[in-house]
Structure 1
Amino acid sequence: MVIEKWKECGIATKYPTYRNSKLITVQSWLLGKQKDDEAEGLWRIYDSIYDFTDFIDKHPGGSFWLKETKGTDITEAFEAHHISAVPTKMIEKYKVRDAAKPRIYTLTLHEDGFYKTLKRRVRDTIKTMDYTPKRTTNYMHFGLLVATFIFIIASAKAGNIIFTGLASLSLCWLVISAHNYFHRRDNWRMYTFNLSMMNFTAWRVSHALSHHIYPNSFYDLELSMFEPFLCWIPNPYIKNLAMRYVSWVTEPIVYLVAFPIQMITRIVYSIKNTNIMHWHDLLCLSIPISIYVTNDLSLLFCVRQWILITLLSSFVFCIIGLNAAHHDPRIHHEGDANREDRDWGLFQVDTIIDRGDLKRSQFLVLTHFGDHILHHLFPTLDHGLLPQLYPILYKTLDEFKAELRECNHLEHIIGQHQQLLRIKTNPKPPGFGK
């Protein structure tokens, strides 16, 4: 009954299989989508089935994306990750048949709809775009990488809490800025994400393929993986009284252990099921090693310092990330009324309130998940380039009677805590009365 009730407002006609798993992971999400997506064991885009087996190793973005998505519907991901019109023409030679059943997703991508209209305009704009800010982004990322290790070494050498705090903050900002790079083709900068104990391969699924494509819905892993400790879905059947109010108590603990928990989960899954560990999972060990080789300190102290820096960095990361754009009673969540126009791009706009207090600084945008709506709509573009797209974004939003909403970080923090308590769904769809 609960599932049927929320299915009426959901983005899909099926309740996700993975949400019935005892342990929700990236692997259970992928396996669930393979069961749910009507992709017939291959790759589905719109109402066609494609066999990209021979193209996997030729894919310009790297083999990962096609390997991991086999057996699923990649329609929205395909559109969001390819601004050029060339891939649409190129994939025709890999089509094997029309799909036997309709898509389970209710979101649309019509040629005259909001997203496709905006993408055509972006396609024209990037031809004359100033790419200097992209180089600036690269310098900022590299500077954070250097600063992180300087502060890490100094924190152990001086034994100063100030340097420990700076090391934690720098590591946090480095990880967030590294997220700018793992949405794109394979590159060395995406590996710096792994210094946090997290892994970009897992995040390419949970963040890029799940959260980015289906934000604030049952298909969003970044909602499901925090339950029952933090639950943002306004569902009285899912969110009991304890989950509502105890979440304010458990929240700081969840923030503190978010980084190591992801590493522990991958290790446990690898031992009990299939190995999902990679050589680059070892990159986080470069932190205690750098402390050990530059200081005359015991190995135990170096490990302890590493764990302290990682925990503090995890805490700051969650303060920034979980209060960045998506959770507020005014933001659309699973179960809230949908707007009549089910365009995927408008759905992205409805699930985000941007942080207006970041827009004047490229550094703050890069290190605080800024320009969030544009990043969701065009994730492969460098954060430094996104501000140049605002004129056409505003124009297109006006044409489709939508708006870019903004607030500051404090308002997001307050709204996020209100959303943890909310159980009543919004009966009015986004844009109602506009």
Structure 2
Amino acid sequence: GTDVTEAFEAHHLNPNTVKVLEKFYKRDAKTPRNSPFTFKDDGFYRTLKTKVWEEIQKIPNKESDRTAFICDSLLFTCLVSSTITCWAKDYWIVMLSYIVASVTMAWVIVAAHNYIHKRTSWRMYIFNIGLWSYSGFEPIVFWNPRKERPFYADYAVIIEQILFPFMFIMNFLKRFSLNFTRPGFFTQHYRWHDGVGFLLPVWIDVNPD
């Protein structure tokens, strides 16, 4: 009962995939779209996809290996630097490794977000290392355009800077509390990758000073 048109159009750039979408056609929408962007051949999605697809063909295949190496290196650096933070005795070494661990953790979450938009890969689950489920989006910030939206949506660039440092923990606590307030939430919504958020604290715990 869910319209997958927008998700399909946004995530599949290859023009040949349009034929696949046609196989799942049920009926035209009964209500108008709440987004100004259409799926017509001369509309926003198809026009942008055509131009992006042309540019993607120019990118060497080895670039995907390079991005994977960057993501893996950031995760490795985060784990190593967090370990050094526990082991080191010198104040400046502790502070330096602490900063490196913090920065690489933030960067690896951003890097892992790239894999959420690709086929299923273990790297997409690295996003959960920040206690934020990869499936939990738009809690307050609205990234997608829509006709009707709250007034604060226009100030997303400011709201992000203020709330994002706390949103990861808030999202985790919200999901955790739903286990006690919504029957069957744990069995229906929790998966193994929800435990990835405990990787770093467990890693630090098994590497004490």
Could you tell me the TM-score, scaled by structure 1's length? 0.40
2:205 to 292, 303, 310: 292
> C-alpha distance in 2, partners of 1:112/1:216?
20
| Contact map agreement 2:35 2:146 (CA 8 A) in 1 | no
Residue aligning to 1:270: 179
Give the C-alpha shift of residue 281 in structure 1. Answer: 1.7
Whether the aligned pair in 2 keeps the contact of 1:76 and 1:213 (CA below 8 Å) is no
**Residue 216 to residue 261, structure 1, CA distance change in 2 (3 Å):** farther
Structure 2 residue aligned with 1:76: 6
User: Is 1:109–1:116's contact at 8 Å kept on the other side of the alignment?
Assistant: yes
CA distance, structure 2, for counterparts of residue 232 and residue 120 of structure 1 = 29
Distance 1:153 1:188, change over 3 A: same
Pick from 25, 29, 32: which aligns with 1:103?
Answer: 32
How many angstroms apart in 2 are the aligned matches of 1:179 and 1:90?
A: 26
Tell me if structure 1 keeps the 8 A contact 2:34–2:147: no
Structure 2 contact 81–101 (Cα < 8 Å) conserved = yes
CA distance in 2, matches of 1:129, 1:171: 28
Q: Is the 8 A contact 1:216 1:233 kept in 2?
A: no
**Alignment equivalent of 2:24, drawn from 94, 100, 103:** 94
Residue 27 of structure 2 aligns to a residue whose secondary structure is strand
Root-mean-square deviation over aligned CA pairs: 3.0
145, 170, 173: which one aligns with 1:214: 145
CA distance in 2, matches of 1:192, 1:103: 37
Identity value in percent: 28
Decide which of 105, 110, 123 is 1:189's aligned counterpart.
Answer: 123
Distance 1:114 1:104, change over 3 A: closer
After superposition, the Cα gap between the structure-2 partners of 1:199 and 1:95, relative to the gap in structure 1 and judged at 3 Å, is same
TM-score (norm 2): 0.78
1:216, 1:102 → 2: CA distance? 13
- Distance change in 2, residues 1:257/1:96 (3 Å): closer
Q: Which moved more, 1:286-295 or 1:263-272?
A: 286-295
Find the residue that maps to 2:144 and give its secondary structure: coil
Unaligned regions of 5+ residues in structure 2, if any? none
How far does the alpha carbon of each residue in 1:239-259 deviate from its partner, in whole angstroms, 9 at most, with x for none? xxxxxxxx99xx75x454222
Q: Which amino acid aligns with 2:64?
A: K
The AA in structure 1 aligned to 2:77 is A
Asked whether the 8 Å contact 1:144–1:174 carries over to 2, the reply is: yes
Q: Which of 185, 195, 198 matches 1:282? A: 195
Aligned to 2:102: 168
User: Gaps spanning 5+ residues in structure 1: where?
Assistant: 1-41, 43-70, 219-223, 235-246, 297-434
